[in-house]
Amino acid sequence: MPKFILAKLARAFLTIMMVMTFAFIVLRLSGDPAQVLLGPDAPLDAVIAFRERWGLNDPIWKQYLAYLTQIMRLDFGVSMRSQTPAINLVLERVPATLALTIPALILKLGIGIPAGVYAALHRGSLADRGVIMLSIFGFTIPSFVLGLVLVLIFAVSLTWLPSGGQDTYWHAVLPIITLSIGGIGILARFSRSAMIEVLGQPYIRTAMSKGLPWRDVVWKHALPNAAVPIVTLVGFMVGALIAGAVVVESIFAWPGVGRLIVISVANRDLAVVQALLLVIAASMVIANLLVDVAYGLLDPRLRSKRAAH
């Protein structure tokens, strides 16, 4: 068992390192921060001084080694633009993003899963067809379209809700709805098919032939089995809590992590982009570890497979 955890951690570390390396190389190949930050009219000596200041004249492998040793000391560098530690810039944006993504996740789980399960239990009914239609609508409409349509209706026409900013709780309503619609659709559809698959299994017939009331067949025998595939999808959603709102934050001018990504990439603010990717990769990796743990709790077959490792 500890061996299994060690292997998982090693793999997680490797994943993060690969993301960091990739980001490092791509960022340095895709444009000169000095040009972008100082502008095209900057005097040549200022550009040279800037490059000297940030070590951009060194060969890329030397920069990379310097970067690695820096990270090992848990130093994530300083923003070229604001001269403040990059990691602080990132972390202070996280709460604003979570204020959108966590309520959205709750909506996705709270509406998507029950809707999908209900549809599966009433397969072929009017409600089932309604759920399928709405969920297709939900996950096919792009969030930038949905966001703008919601703004048009609720902010511009009805003037019930603000169209952007972060001043009151009301400001969060439209971004949260925009964020959750797609996930609700996907989860509803996925839960429905997971549940239909499970309901056709022989052990469900066994549970029924035992004389269990239908309610117990569903709650005690079908749902625990359907939960396994659903957890996979929920894991992706948990992993996207920090980085999953780039578009929506941009539409609604919400000062979260997503906005920071857009601004920092545009400015070639290397340290900030790298710190962002580190935090995002770490959140994905942690979500994956949680999914693995959840698998073990939900399905004893996976537990013993692991013990056999």
Partner 1 sequence: MSFISIQGLTVAFDGTQVLHGIDLEIGRGEALGLVGESGCGKSVTWLAALGLLPGKARVGGSVKIDGEELIGASRTQVERVRGKRIAMIFQDPSSSLNPVHRVGRQIMESLTLHRGLKGQAAKAEAIRLMDLVGIPSAATRIDLYPHEFSGGQCQRVMIAMALAGEPDLLIADEPTTALDATIQAQILDLLSQIRAETGMAMVLISHDLGAVSAVCDRAAVMYAGRIVEMNDTAALFSAPRHPYTRGLFDAIPEIDGDRGRLKPIHGTVPDPRALPQGCAFAPRCGSADTRCHTRSPEPQAGREGGLLACFHPVAWAVPLMTSPQGIPA
Q: Closer to partner 1 at the Cβ: 225 or 250?
A: 225
The 73-112 site mask, x for binding partner 1 (CB under 8 A), equals ----------------------------------------
Are 51 and 34 in contact by the 8 Å Cβ rule? The answer is yes
The 115-134 site mask, x for binding partner 1 (CB under 8 A), equals --------xx----------
With binding defined as CB under 8 A, does residue 219 bind partner 1? no
Q: Widest CA span of the chain, in angstroms?
A: 85
* Helices 113-121/170-199 angle, 10° precision: 30
Q: Which of 73, 126, 213, 308 binds partner 1 (CB under 8 A)?
A: 213
- Considering the complex, what minimum distance in angstroms separates the CB of residue 117 from partner 1? 17
Q: Which of 108, 171, 192, 221 binds partner 1 (CB under 8 A)?
A: 221
> Which residue's entry shows tokens 């709805």?
177
Q: How many residues bind partner 1 (CB under 8 A)?
A: 24
Q: Closer to partner 1 at the Cβ: 11 or 220?
A: 220
Q: How are the residues of the chain apportioned to helix, strand and coil, as percentages rounded to the nearest 5?
A: 80, 0, 20
The closest alpha carbon to 171, from 143, 151, 157, belongs to: 151
Are 103 and 56 in contact by the 8 Å Cβ rule? The answer is no
Contacts by 168-173, CB closer than 8 A, 24 or more apart: 171/252, 171/254, 172/99, 172/100, 172/103
With binding defined as CB under 8 A, does residue 206 bind partner 1? yes
Q: Which of 97, 166, 225, 274 binds partner 1 (CB under 8 A)?
A: 225
Q: Which of 21, 57, 69, 304 binds partner 1 (CB under 8 A)?
A: 304
Site residues (vs partner 1, CB under 8 A):
123-124, 201-203, 205-214, 220-221, 224-225, 298-301, 304
